[in-house]
Chains A and B, each alone.
Chain A
Amino acid sequence: MPERTATIASRSGLHARPAALFAEAAGNAGVDVTISMQGEPAEEALDAASILSLMTLGAAKGDVVVLRADGDGADQALDSLVALLETDLDAE
């Protein structure tokens, strides 16, 4: 299954507005995307399109997370989501 790592760039971490923007993008990705903190088992990964899951993940600025997805267009979807996580969304 394709996977990518990304370092959270938003100042407030994956909370509030950055979490909302990311969850919305993951929901529109066309494939099911999961997210977990680096080092955690894949079976404990959470639904990346769920803002409530993202909030419970508690990823802060500088934390590394793993995104996973399967199926058609998974690689492309993961690349664009990594780019989103590595942008400081609080600055916009």
Chain B
Amino acid sequence: MQNFQGVGVSPGRIIGTIRQMPKPISEPPAGEQLPAGVTAEDATAALKAASQAVHDELKARAAHATGDGKAVLEATALMAKDTMLIKGAAKLVARGVSSERAIWESGSSVSEMLHNLGGYMAERATDVLDVRARIVAELRGVPAPGIPASSTPFVLVAEDLAPADTATLDPNKVLALITAGGGPQSHTAIIARSLGLPAVVAAVGVDELPDGTEVYVDGAAGTITAEPDESLRAAAEAWAATASLLAEFSGTGATADGHLVPLLANVGGGKDAEAAAKLGAQGVGLFRTEFCFLERDTEPTVEEQAAAYKSVFDAFPGKKVVLRTLDAGADKPLPFLTDSTEPNPALGVRGYRTDFTTPGVLDRQLEAIAQAEKQSEADVWVMAPMISTAEEAARFASMCADAGIKTPGVMVEVPSAALTAEAILREVGFASLGTNDLTQYAMAADRQLGPLAALNTPWQPAVLRLVGLTVEGSRAEGHNKPVGVCGEAAADPALAVVLTGLGVSTLSMTARSLAAVAAVLKTVTLAEAQDLAKLALSAPSATEARAWVREKLPVLAELGL
């Protein structure tokens, strides 16, 4: 048995065989020529054979897909042997350019042409680049990029996953996710929790394991064991039995003594919202509106926006839906709002700040929200991301008032907002702590970087103190204005208890985590949660804070969380 230690980001204990995610295809060097002895005819024939092979592979995958995925795969398969793409490459080969470089350049020019056409065509530009990379991989005789196709379920091992990989990740084929890089707040972690897959990130060395190795993955402990023994097999079987118990949420979050902590869902659109409502979510604590428009080159119209927002409101009639205005920038660029040349995007013009450089977009979004609210029965709250000062909060509140929005609020994710929460809450009706960014900014540690994973955990006593200060700010303000948490921290059942003890009033998380959080929360009284919060705050490190609290919550081990 060989062990790897990483950071557990999504609980679950399973055994499966691994498949490595192939490394991205590198660009063939500019000016690369046909090798000596290879004629242009031979190279063109090889190119056509490769394009046919990629076409056949995508076509075969389309045959097993359904719905939108099938249509996209069918269209992409046709692109692989498209005359426009291949003739462009053949012309370059005739001039002596290597077949890999020729298809690379031909793909670039076709993709750029589609991009310049805008709209639907621009959205297909990346498909051409995907096809191009597949043809280059075929010519080089290396595995195609992207999540491997497999007829049997497997444990996916990657350096890290990008948001785009979510679309091609089939939760029926992937048993667990393991990454060598990435941190607890990386996209891999978010994807894994939303799909309910066990996951371990920052496990150095796992990318060296050969395909087909059998491994045991413990997504709570953060361990991976190659060639597991009988005791680990028994642990995986025991988890399978308890997992079904953790799938049900009664629909009321509360402590053992009946202190209510509404458990809400984080959603990115109408489909998510419907799924969350089915899983018992008591409302939406974070509607990430930018997720409706991530692939857009241009600003959506007010009507398009209103329709997208209404689809979420309609899943929660009579319940609270907290909508976050467009949070573009850093790892989620929107071409119509963000400047991709910023040297330091996490500290750049992102979130609410895009209103400084692109005024009007936020006003139109607020107009669309107000319009959608009028046609729905949800209790709509609206908050701005990346608020740093009370002055910004006041300005956002007045923009909301002008649009006819009744309940304006702010995200607390910049440390300055936590420190001045009293002044900020005088201007708005509520605050919601975004623990992912709050951690990144408090610890000055990029949340995407694997080597900084140990810094990048909301168990850091400094982060917990900022949460506590925000709650104290609300109390000092005097009107009992709600302070919720909508970061990934709320999905960790042990941390959820600590946050409750710190005085947080609602917890919002990926809907898959609702049942586990509710199950643990109902085993402690409010007073016990307060004691655990004090314990965590007094810890000298994040590791000890987590270990000390977990030790006092034996239910976690019983449930395998």
A residues adjacent to B (C-beta < 8 A) = 12, 15-17, 19-20, 23-24, 27, 47, 49-53, 55-56, 58
List chain A residues, Cβ under 8 A from B120: 12, 15-16
Instruction: Please determine whether A52 and B85 come into contact, CB atoms closer than 8 angstroms.
Output: yes
Question: In whole angstroms, what is the CA distance A47 to B84 when docked?
Answer: 8
For A16, A23, A49, A51, the residue with the greatest tally of chain B CB atoms inside 10 Å of its CB is: A51
Given known contacts A15-B120, A16-B71, A58-B117, A53 and B84 CB-to-CB distance under 8 angstroms: yes
Complex A-B: 14 CB contacts under 8 Å: A12-B120, A16-B120, A17-B71, A47-B84, A49-B83, A50-B84, A51-B82, A52-B82, A52-B110, A52-B114, A52-B128, A55-B121, A56-B113, A58-B121
Question: In whole angstroms, what is the CA distance A19 to B78 when docked?
Answer: 10
Closest residue of B by beta carbon distance from A20 = B75
Asked if B452 lies at the interface with its beta carbon under 8 angstroms from chain A, I say no
Instruction: Please determine whether A19 and B117 come into contact, CB atoms closer than 8 angstroms.
Output: no
Task: A49-B83, A51-B78, A53-B83 are known; give 16 further A-B pairs, CB within 8 A.
Answer: A12-B120, A17-B71, A17-B74, A20-B74, A20-B75, A20-B78, A47-B83, A50-B82, A51-B75, A51-B79, A52-B84, A52-B85, A53-B82, A55-B114, A58-B117, A58-B121
List chain B residues, Cβ under 8 A from A24: 78
List chain B residues, Cβ under 8 A from A51: 75, 78-79, 82
Instruction: Please determine whether B71 and A56 come into contact, CB atoms closer than 8 angstroms.
Output: no
Question: In whole angstroms, what is the CA distance A49 to B78 when docked?
Answer: 9
Question: In whole angstroms, what is the CA distance A51 to B71 when docked?
Answer: 13
List chain A residues, Cβ under 8 A from B113: 56
Closest residue of A by beta carbon distance from B120 = A15
B residues adjacent to A (C-beta < 8 A) = 71, 74-75, 78-79, 82-85, 110, 113-114, 117, 120-121, 124, 128
Question: In whole angstroms, what is the CA distance A19 to B85 when docked?
Answer: 16
Given known contacts A16-B120, A47-B83, A56 and B114 CB-to-CB distance under 8 angstroms: yes
Question: In whole angstroms, what is the CA distance A55 to B74 when docked?
Answer: 15
List chain A residues, Cβ under 8 A from B85: 52
Question: In whole angstroms, what is the CA distance A16 to B114 when docked?
Answer: 13
Question: In whole angstroms, what is the CA distance A23 to B77 when docked?
Answer: 11
Instruction: Please determine whether A19 and B75 come into contact, CB atoms closer than 8 angstroms.
Output: yes
For B71, B78, B120, B128, the residue with the greatest tally of chain A CB atoms inside 10 Å of its CB is: B78
Question: In whole angstroms, what is the CA distance A27 to B80 when docked?
Answer: 13
List chain B residues, Cβ under 8 A from A15: 120-121
Question: In whole angstroms, what is the CA distance A53 to B120 when docked?
Answer: 14
Closest residue of B by beta carbon distance from A17 = B71
Closest residue of A by beta carbon distance from B80 = A51
What distance in Å separates the Cβ of B464 from its nearest Cβ neighbour in chain A?
49
What distance in Å separates the Cβ of B71 from its nearest Cβ neighbour in chain A?
5
Question: In whole angstroms, what is the CA distance A90 to B169 when docked?
Answer: 26
For A12, A15, A17, A55, the residue with the greatest tally of chain B CB atoms inside 10 Å of its CB is: A55
List chain A residues, Cβ under 8 A from B128: 52
Question: In whole angstroms, what is the CA distance A51 to B113 when docked?
Answer: 14
What distance in Å separates the Cβ of B79 from its nearest Cβ neighbour in chain A?
6
List chain A residues, Cβ under 8 A from B83: 47, 49-50, 53
List chain B residues, Cβ under 8 A from A19: 75
For A12, A56, A58, the residue with the greatest tally of chain B CB atoms inside 10 Å of its CB is: A56
List chain A residues, Cβ under 8 A from B84: 47, 50, 52-53
Instruction: Please determine whether A23 and B117 come into contact, CB atoms closer than 8 angstroms.
Output: no
What distance in Å separates the Cβ of A55 from its nearest Cβ neighbour in chain B?
5
Question: In whole angstroms, what is the CA distance A23 to B59 when docked?
Answer: 14
Instruction: Please determine whether A16 and B82 come into contact, CB atoms closer than 8 angstroms.
Output: no
Given known contacts A47-B84, A50-B84, A56 and B74 CB-to-CB distance under 8 angstroms: no
Question: In whole angstroms, what is the CA distance A47 to B83 when docked?
Answer: 8
Question: In whole angstroms, what is the CA distance A50 to B117 when docked?
Answer: 17
List chain B residues, Cβ under 8 A from A12: 120
Question: In whole angstroms, what is the CA distance A19 to B79 when docked?
Answer: 11
Within 8 Å by CB of B75, from A16, A49, A58, lies: A16
Question: In whole angstroms, what is the CA distance A27 to B86 when docked?
Answer: 14
List chain A residues, Cβ under 8 A from B74: 17, 20
List chain B residues, Cβ under 8 A from A56: 113-114, 117, 121
List chain A residues, Cβ under 8 A from B117: 55-56, 58
Closest residue of A by beta carbon distance from B121 = A55
Question: In whole angstroms, what is the CA distance A49 to B86 when docked?
Answer: 13
List chain A residues, Cβ under 8 A from B78: 20, 23-24, 27, 51
Closest residue of A by beta carbon distance from B73 = A20
What distance in Å separates the Cβ of A24 from its nearest Cβ neighbour in chain B?
6
List chain B residues, Cβ under 8 A from A27: 78
List chain B residues, Cβ under 8 A from A47: 83-84
Question: In whole angstroms, what is the CA distance A75 to B83 when docked?
Answer: 23
Instruction: Please determine whether A55 and B71 come into contact, CB atoms closer than 8 angstroms.
Output: no
What distance in Å separates the Cβ of B60 from its nearest Cβ neighbour in chain A?
15
List chain A residues, Cβ under 8 A from B124: 55
Question: In whole angstroms, what is the CA distance A44 to B8 when docked?
Answer: 59
Question: In whole angstroms, what is the CA distance A20 to B73 when docked?
Answer: 10
Closest residue of A by beta carbon distance from B71 = A17
List chain B residues, Cβ under 8 A from A53: 82-84
For B83, B121, B124, B128, the residue with the greatest tally of chain A CB atoms inside 10 Å of its CB is: B83
What distance in Å separates the Cβ of B66 from its nearest Cβ neighbour in chain A?
13
What distance in Å separates the Cβ of A6 from its nearest Cβ neighbour in chain B?
20
List chain B residues, Cβ under 8 A from A55: 114, 117, 121, 124
Closest residue of B by beta carbon distance from A32 = B83
What distance in Å separates the Cβ of B78 from its nearest Cβ neighbour in chain A?
4
Question: In whole angstroms, what is the CA distance A28 to B78 when docked?
Answer: 12
List chain B residues, Cβ under 8 A from A23: 78
Closest residue of A by beta carbon distance from B124 = A55
Question: In whole angstroms, what is the CA distance A50 to B128 when docked?
Answer: 13
What distance in Å separates the Cβ of A47 from its nearest Cβ neighbour in chain B?
5
Question: In whole angstroms, what is the CA distance A16 to B74 when docked?
Answer: 10
Question: In whole angstroms, what is the CA distance A67 to B255 when docked?
Answer: 70
